[in-house]
Amino acid sequence: MALSFCGIELAHPVINASGTYDALAARRVFGEVFDENFPFSAYVSKTITLEPRRGNPPPRLWELGQGMINSIGLPNKGLVGFIESDLPEYATLPAPLIVSVMGFSGEELATILQTLDGHDEIAAFELNFSCPNVKTGNIVGSDPGECGAMMGRLRACSRKPMIAKLAPSTSRPDLVALAAEEAGADAISLVNTLPGMAYAPETHTPWLGAGSGGISGPALRPVALGQVARVSTAVKIPVVGMGGVENGRDAQALLAAGATVIAVGTENFRDPAAGSRIAAEISRG
């Protein structure tokens, strides 16, 4: 099942969704067995921002019958902390490293990419376009004009492959993806979580500390299939499909819809070896 994705050689088509698998923590727990049985063909880091973030206040999770709502809030050490602390460890993982980045402005994203561009440990960047443009309020990953403008600005900031991760909250993901492709994206990644809320049954007040969060897991699967199918017919670049993948059957459906690579997210919380299992299930057909 080996394949080439954005010039990166992958042993199989299964990677992780950003923020759903802490490889460094897993290595500390499982030791040498972890490296020998690394579950993904490439590893996508937690999203990093220019400045450190503590994340959202707790509670941060609400379980659903078919998934969860998370309100983690991108906690990370910031660009400098990432370079000094996490990047050296990530570089020793037995798989190519894709770094997920997000900025609250084009300037912030440009600074991150320009700073990281010279690090050979990094194989590619995933551009988390789920943040609103501070000037317009539009979600960059759901608006063709915003997405194309941002992608065009960032393309000159790095020689590395760039994967545009789009927001699912749009009725025309094909137009957003096409705008990203025309502005220089090397691949499209979708879908990200859908916005949602949960209310505590006793108090009838929002459960999550930040009020709302993102829905992930099996409940998202039909949305993912629909958007991957629509986008893959609109663009010529590869598509990373994700959303509710629990097993090989789910992954094969996304591949049939046009995805080149499958990302596993919520299922990693239940099964740390989900990536390897799903890759094996795909190979068996």
What residues act catalytically? 131
Prior bond to 59 cis, omega within 30?
Answer: yes
Which pair of structure tokens corresponds to residue 168?
């699912």
Phi, psi of 17 (to 5 degrees): -80, 140
- What's the rounded Cα separation, in Å, for the pair 51 and 81? 9
Residue 8: partners with Cβ closer than 8 Å, 6 or more residues away: 42, 96, 123, 124, 161
> What is the spatial distance between Cα 44 and Cα 90, in angstroms, rounded to a whole number?
10
Both tokens assigned to 84: 């000094």
- Dist CA 197 CA 219 (whole Å): 14
CA distance 144 to 32: 45
